[in-house]
Chains A and B, each alone.
Chain A
């Protein structure tokens, strides 16, 4: 009975916290915070992987933004929100709509950069942003944004040579550039190969850490007929 009463008191205390709606106190408990954050992130990352439509991606991006708004010191929610907006350009109707999505991604990435300066993954995502900007209008933007992709990918590699994503992104750009300007399959393949090697060896520190691009890299290797 004593045991039971003790348990009851514990339960009551916990519930009363809820009942009072004292979420602040609840959030301040570090263990509980992390678990809530992690839970929300994991659930949303799961949704991100299975997202098929524009609406799915929008919902995922919104959730990341909400997490970012509650977790002001975390860079990952901003990072993933930006990443999701970049992916949404596949569904955009016209160039202006694409640029609007990319403008939004840029703002989120700037916040991520402030929270995590000199982070290889954030810099790699900047390269992805530049690459997507370029793809909106390659003829007009090629010169300006190809420089930005190489610069950002280079920086991301310098910060963490084991990060597969900068190699993968650079490979995509090289693949789409005319051979006369240092592009083509021959130039892209070594990059895809390094990326593949790094993808194999890549162990994200936690489940929440960026871990995208492996499948597309494999597809690109096939398309480029890499030996």
Chain B
């Protein structure tokens, strides 16, 4: 190698190194969250190149690039919004201070919870899911409404069905399926025998049980709404066979790519069970039901879903009962009921931000009652249509508006006398849900309603606000006015008196405040306080020959409720405890004065405990319910509703065993309601002279149910 060559090489190498250094840009910096906390492991890169690195334990990064044209600096971190920044590397080192914003998600975003208990299988931050609802002991086994009776705000009323919420009567709670009111969610009422709900909890993928302050989307409920969202396409093709101590049932579900169809039927006869389990009612013919249902789902497009749910049920029963208040005779009651219900909905996205939901339903309920030889018939029909348009604004906010129409017909007759009424109801609403920040959200809405029968309109404002106070906690508050058309029997009387137009909408104002702490999937604590003011309740003056009605009833309810659920401390154990304190008085119907109604207990406690034993593939669940005494009318006491029943206790047990029969998945389910056989008394009836009284007790002291549910299908 000559000297020249050596120099040449040296110069070349030096020159090249310099050139290379010149074109190489060093990028360094710090990545933090909004509060300035370092983010470890954030991905820092130049879009479309291999250049980049991850931030270290101090959130710092450093890398070099040979890019010289404009490129995009990309900083990504899980659950944070991606940072993009155009940069022009020029050879000099560049430093960056990057603050990433957290993405809104279910955990870090406030939710409007005041008044509502949400159960969902889709959302991850909820209090209950559908399995929780189905497996809660107590009430009637597997009854949709049983689980809600274990939540704060509800009363345990053992002699009749329905959800009695915060001092409200059962008719102040409305049940809705996909936004449409269900006229008869329970089997027909019989004196002193609580009836089951008509729907299986597995029909629904989500429920919102609101005990106050709910959305302007819902009306005609003074106290509470139970909003049920039905399942979309069925999971798979399968056949079910149900064998129970009370009857048999079965069904088949067929799933195609975009369509599913389920057909189900069941036959229930309580005669064998009643023959074994001692009953406190004198059944002449134990309840016998025949039911069928059809569920059709069609995915009409990528975003569209068409649903039909239809049921038809027939039931019969007969019993003798004594009622001292009607004189000391035995009454013979027979009841035949036919119930048909069809609910059709369609939803579709209209472009990127709009969504439309259309719904129509028809229900027909027909009771034929034979009472001491008199033929009484009652028929209710409800037709409704509903349209809702929703527009999303940004990631969380949105506005929705819509309207609904209902035509309600009620006809009744005794022997050859008939009468009927027709009510037409129109409503419209607009509501906006606004996320001012991820920590502060509000919902403001207004609902307008018009009743043809009472010739009244109302305008109901609804407001709620929620503020996130910590990573797992938030406070929320709500206010709203709620209206309800007077009940059908009041309307009928008013029509007879020709005073319907003198009646007002019954009104309740809700004020509530709520604190919730929730470790998703693990523990929940919530406390809620409320005040409710009732006005324009219907009053009946029955001492005249024709009962007179007016809308001058009023009242209040106030209370505090606690809820604690823990499914993580003990392995395979899930339990929750609810406590409700209720102070309520009202002057309505035939009350002579302001008094606590018979369906309101001051203290209510529910405790639910469930444990899974993997060695024996079994779930065991207990539910204990307590409430302090409820008021009843004693004609010998000068104070109206001055007496209290004894306290109520109920301990129920469920046992679920997972097994297989002929290689088909099988669930064996057994439940014992009122395990200890406590003789609860719900009230007393007095003879006209007040000398005799008759306790209203349980229809059955200790009820036992066993069922076997077999699923045949691909595992």
| A contacts, CB < 8 Å to B | 4, 8, 12, 15-16, 18-21, 23, 36, 40, 54-55, 58-59, 61-63, 65-67, 69-70, 72, 94-96, 99-101, 104, 137, 139-140, 143-144, 147, 150, 178-182
6 closest residue pairs by CB, A with B: A182-B715, A58-B41, A19-B19, A62-B43, A21-B68, A180-B658
Knowing A18-B66, A23-B66, A70-B48 touch, does A181 contact B23 (C-beta < 8 A)? no
Judged by a CB distance under 8 angstroms, whether B631 is at the interface is: no
Residues of A within 8 A of B54 (CB): 58-59, 62-63
From B330-338, B354-362, B640-648, B659-667, give the one contacting chain A. Answer: B659-667
A-B contact pairs, 26 of them (CB 8 A): A4-B5, A8-B12, A12-B12, A15-B20, A19-B22, A20-B68, A21-B66, A23-B66, A23-B67, A40-B50, A54-B41, A55-B57, A58-B40, A62-B45, A65-B76, A69-B74, A70-B49, A96-B105, A140-B121, A140-B131, A147-B236, A179-B660, A180-B617, A181-B715, A182-B663, A182-B665
Chain A proximity of B659: nearest CB distance (Å): 4
Chain B proximity of A174: nearest CB distance (Å): 9
Question: Residues 596-621 of chain B: 1 if any A CB is under 8 Å from the residue's CB, otherwise 0?
Answer: 00000000000000001010010000
A72 to B53, CA, bound (A): 19
A23 to B666, CA, bound (A): 64
Interface residues in B452-506 by Cβ distance below 8 A to A read none
A94 to B519, CA, bound (A): 9
Chain A proximity of B225: nearest CB distance (Å): 24
Chain B proximity of A129: nearest CB distance (Å): 15
Beta-carbon contact of A62 and B41 below 8 Å: yes
Q: Which residue of B lies closest to A20 (CB)?
A: B23
Beta-carbon contact of B78 and A104 below 8 Å: yes
Beta-carbon contact of B78 and A181 below 8 Å: no
Beta-carbon contact of B107 and A147 below 8 Å: no
A58 to B45, CA, bound (A): 14
A61 to B131, CA, bound (A): 36
A94 to B568, CA, bound (A): 11
Q: Which residue of A lies closest to B16 (CB)?
A: A15
Beta-carbon contact of A66 and B521 below 8 Å: no
Interface residues in B644-680 by Cβ distance below 8 A to A read 658-660, 663, 665-666
Judged by a CB distance under 8 angstroms, whether B553 is at the interface is: no
A23 to B715, CA, bound (A): 54
Chain B proximity of A45: nearest CB distance (Å): 15
Beta-carbon contact of A144 and B665 below 8 Å: no
Judged by a CB distance under 8 angstroms, whether B86 is at the interface is: no
Chain B proximity of A131: nearest CB distance (Å): 15
Question: Residues 519-539 of chain B: 1 if any A CB is under 8 Å from the residue's CB, otherwise 0?
Answer: 111100000000000000000
Beta-carbon contact of B50 and A66 below 8 Å: yes
A58 to B212, CA, bound (A): 45
Residues of B within 8 A of A179 (CB): 617, 660
Interface residues in B40-73 by Cβ distance below 8 A to A read 40-41, 43, 45, 47-54, 57, 66-69
Q: Which residue of A lies closest to B105 (CB)?
A: A100
Residues of B within 8 A of A72 (CB): 48
Chain B proximity of A143: nearest CB distance (Å): 7
Beta-carbon contact of B23 and A99 below 8 Å: no
Q: Which residue of A lies closest to B667 (CB)?
A: A180
Beta-carbon contact of B78 and A101 below 8 Å: yes
Beta-carbon contact of B20 and A18 below 8 Å: yes
Q: Give which listed residue, A19, A59, A99, contacts B124 with CB less than 8 A.
A: A99
Residues of A within 8 A of B20 (CB): 15, 18-19
Beta-carbon contact of A137 and B521 below 8 Å: yes
Beta-carbon contact of B78 and A66 below 8 Å: no
Interface residues in B97-114 by Cβ distance below 8 A to A read 105-107
Judged by a CB distance under 8 angstroms, whether B593 is at the interface is: no
A8 to B129, CA, bound (A): 73
Residues of B within 8 A of A20 (CB): 23, 68
A20 to B79, CA, bound (A): 38
Q: Which residue of B lies closest to A55 (CB)?
A: B41
Beta-carbon contact of B16 and A147 below 8 Å: no
Judged by a CB distance under 8 angstroms, whether B235 is at the interface is: yes
Residues of A within 8 A of B236 (CB): 147
Chain A proximity of B292: nearest CB distance (Å): 25
Beta-carbon contact of B41 and A100 below 8 Å: no
Beta-carbon contact of A181 and B665 below 8 Å: yes
Q: Which residue of A lies closest to B89 (CB)?
A: A21
Q: Which residue of B lies closest to A147 (CB)?
A: B235
Q: Which residue of A lies closest to B125 (CB)?
A: A96
A70 to B714, CA, bound (A): 43
Q: Which residue of A lies closest to B574 (CB)?
A: A139
Beta-carbon contact of A19 and B520 below 8 Å: no
Beta-carbon contact of A69 and B124 below 8 Å: no
Q: Give which listed residue, B50, B79, B129, B614, contacts A70 with CB less than 8 A.
A: B50
Residues of A within 8 A of B45 (CB): 62, 65-66, 69
Knowing A96-B520, A100-B79 touch, does A36 contact B658 (C-beta < 8 A)? no
Chain B proximity of A178: nearest CB distance (Å): 5
A178 to B40, CA, bound (A): 40
Q: Which residue of A lies closest to B53 (CB)?
A: A62
A21-B66, A66-B51, A180-B658 given; name 11 further pairs at CB < 8 Å.
Answer: A12-B16, A19-B22, A23-B67, A62-B54, A69-B47, A70-B50, A96-B106, A96-B124, A140-B131, A144-B121, A182-B660
Q: Which residue of B lies closest to A138 (CB)?
A: B612
Interface residues in B158-172 by Cβ distance below 8 A to A read none
Residues of A within 8 A of B41 (CB): 54-55, 58-59, 62
Q: Which residue of A lies closest to B106 (CB)?
A: A96
Q: Give which listed residue, B47, B67, B520, contacts A95 with CB less than 8 A.
A: B520
A59 to B614, CA, bound (A): 38
Q: Which residue of A lies closest to B19 (CB)?
A: A19
Beta-carbon contact of A62 and B121 below 8 Å: no
Beta-carbon contact of A96 and B107 below 8 Å: yes
Q: Which residue of A lies closest to B5 (CB)?
A: A4
Knowing A18-B23, A139-B131, A181-B658 touch, does A66 contact B52 (C-beta < 8 A)? yes
